[in-house]
Structure 1
Amino acid sequence: MGRSQETFNKKEREKKRQKKAKEKMERREERKDQAVKGTLDNMMAYVDEFGNITDTPPDPEKKPKKIKAENIEIGIPKREEEEEVVRTGKIDFFNTSKGFGFIIESGTGDKYFFHVNGLIDAVDEGDKVTYDLEKGMKGMNAVNVKLVE
Structure 2
Amino acid sequence: MGRSQESFNKKEKEKKKAQKLQEKQEKKAERQANSQKGKSLEDMMAYIDENGNIIDTPPDPSKRKEVSLEEIQIGVSRQEDTEELPTVRTGTVTHFNGSKGYGFIKDSLTQESIFVHVNDVQGRIAEGSKVNFEVTMGHKGPQAVSVKPA
Please give the TM-score of this superposition, normalised by the length of structure 2.
0.48
Larger Rg: 1
